[in-house]
């Protein structure tokens, strides 16, 4: 009897240890008053003190980081994984296709859509089940439908990550259950989200508060787990997440006026903290930043600089000293970028370039930098290139110069 009880105890301890690994995304008893959390967290415009282990605010128009905390550290991401899952499905399947739920899909634990073996459901409805109620069973069903298996689907996810330049992200499942080889960073998750939101179908799904799907011909209404959607001004998506390894996670897209941002918080201790952190970061961003037309600013500055430095360059052994410069055509930021409102009145530019060069100077050769700053805060910098080519003098050129100058020299010597 003692041996039996001992074995039973061992099994019980083992189950306690592995059970936490089977839950992902919002299976938590904690409930919060969202309106109260938003009201309290939106008051301050100061630099926020956040509980989340890593977070980032990304401006969608410029891809600039407006706030970051450990934003490039590799961390677990829970069901925010499903952002990538949805994109792989959207780019590799037909939404109106009806699929049959496998035993493996139906048996997936954690947050669930509630699928059973043999159920019939469309890819479209599975996507709503994936993104609104974060169904792990829907994730597996989609993975099997698109790629045949979870490993094959993970290969597609990693190939997409490589295509998008997400060098610190790796996927091992479509649902995000804890795994040592399954990780991302707050920054790369924001980049992925920015990519995903450009897909109209994805944008529509993650911005839906409630939706009715059909399983085996019977309707089922789903509610979005995103607590900020419909409650915070400007929020239009995108995904929640929770596992014991990742803690509470939330990716939020928010637009007010012309400014469009993505806020990612990962590793919050509680659902309350993830809500507060997200609201703090969003409110801080909109209170702190506004767009500044940097393209017009640098072009005007360069034009003025040229006018005030007409004979600036000296080209050793060059056929000419009239070297024209331009800003690199590889303009990798938009015309306007977000800058702190406090810095905008003092924005200034500075050209760093030597006046001395040795011929030949090729067209588009890099010559220097145009640096934009404010109150010693770096804002941006641009490569300055040669807008013309200046070749080196040849023997013939020297002879021509000599004979052109000779009569004048002779005239001065005679008179």
Alpha helices in 57-122 (DSSP H): 82-90, 103-106
Contact between residue 215 and residue 122 where contact means Cβ atoms under 8 Å apart: no
Structure tokens at 358: 């040795």
3 state SS of 34 = helix
Structure tokens at 146: 């698109």
DSSP states of 282-308:
HHHHHHHEEEEEHHHHHHHHHHHHHHH
Dihedral Cα 37, 38, 42, 47, nearest 10 deg: 60
The CA distance from 232 to 226, in Å, is 11
Contact between residue 244 and residue 178 where contact means Cβ atoms under 8 Å apart: yes
- What distance, in Å, lies between the first and last C-alpha atoms of the chain? 131
- Is 82 known to be catalytic? yes
- Is 22 known to be catalytic? no
User: Which of 134, 169, 278, 386 is labelled catalytic?
Assistant: 134
E strands present in 104-246: 120-122, 210-215, 218-223, 235-243
Closest of 171, 126, 164 to residue 150, by C-alpha: 171
Contact between residue 277 and residue 36 where contact means Cβ atoms under 8 Å apart: no
The CA distance from 7 to 340, in Å, is 63
Contact between residue 99 and residue 124 where contact means Cβ atoms under 8 Å apart: no
Beta bridge partners of 350: 371
Counting Cβ atoms within 10 Å, is residue 158 exposed (0-12), middle (13-18) or buried (19+)? middle
DSSP 377: E
User: Which of 79, 145, 154, 173 is labelled catalytic?
Assistant: 79
3 state SS of 173 = coil
Task: Give ∠ CA 362-365-370 in degrees, rounded to 5.
Answer: 140
3 state SS of 384 = strand
- Is 93 known to be catalytic? no
Contact between residue 261 and residue 237 where contact means Cβ atoms under 8 Å apart: no
User: Which of 82, 239, 271, 280 is labelled catalytic?
Assistant: 82
Which residues are known to be catalytic? 79, 82, 134
């Amino acid at each position: 009897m003692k041996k039996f009880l001992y074995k039973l105890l061992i099994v019980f301890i083992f189950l306690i240890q592995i059970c936490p690994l089977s839950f992902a995304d919002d299976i938590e008893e904690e409930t919060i008053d969202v309106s109260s959390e938003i009201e309290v967290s939106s008051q301050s415009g100061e630099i926020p003190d956040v509980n989340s282990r890593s977070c980032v605010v990304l401006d969608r128009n410029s891809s600039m980081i407006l706030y970051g905390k450990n934003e490039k550290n590799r961390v677990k991401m829970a069901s925010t994984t499903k952002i990538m899952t949805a994109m792989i499905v959207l780019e590799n399947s037909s939404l109106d296709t009806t699929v049959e739920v496998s035993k493996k899909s139906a048996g997936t634990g954690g947050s669930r859509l509630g699928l059973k073996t043999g159920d019939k459901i469309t890819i479209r409805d599975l996507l709503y089940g994936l993104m609104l109620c974060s169904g792990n069973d829907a994730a597996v069903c989609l993975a099997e439908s698109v790629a045949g298996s979870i490993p094959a689907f993970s290969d597609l996810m990693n190939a997409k990550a490589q295509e998008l330049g997400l060098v610190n992200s790796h996927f091992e499942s479509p649902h995000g259950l804890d795994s040592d080889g399954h990780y991302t960073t707050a920054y790369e998750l924001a980049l992925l989200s920015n990519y995903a939101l450009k897909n109209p179908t994805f944008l529509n799904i993650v911005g839906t508060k409630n939706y009715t799907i059909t399983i085996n011909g019977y309707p089922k209404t789903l509610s979005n787990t995103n607590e900020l959607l419909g409650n915070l001004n400007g929020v239009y998506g995108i995904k929640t997440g929770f596992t014991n390894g990742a803690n509470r996670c939330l990716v939020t897209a928010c637009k007010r006026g012309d400014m469009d941002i993505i806020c990612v918080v990962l590793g919050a201790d509680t659902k309350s903290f993830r809500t507060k952190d997200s609201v703090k970061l969003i409110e801080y961003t909109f209170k702190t930043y506004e767009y500044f037309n940097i393209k017009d600013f640098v072009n005007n500055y360069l034009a003025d600089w040229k006018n005030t430095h007409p004979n600036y360059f000296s080209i050793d052994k060059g056929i000419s000293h009239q070297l024209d410069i331009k800003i690199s055509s590889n303009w990798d930021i938009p015309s306007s970028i977000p800058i702190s409102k406090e810095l905008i009145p003092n924005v200034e530019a500075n050209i760093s370039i030597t006046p001395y060069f040795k011929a030949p100077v090729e067209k588009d050769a890099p010559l220097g930098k145009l640096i934009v700053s404010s109150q010693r805060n770096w804002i941006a910098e641009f490569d300055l290139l040669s807008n013309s080519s200046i070749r080196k003098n040849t023997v013939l050129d020297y002879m021509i110069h000599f004979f052109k100058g000779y009569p004048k020299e002779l005239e001065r010597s005679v008179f």
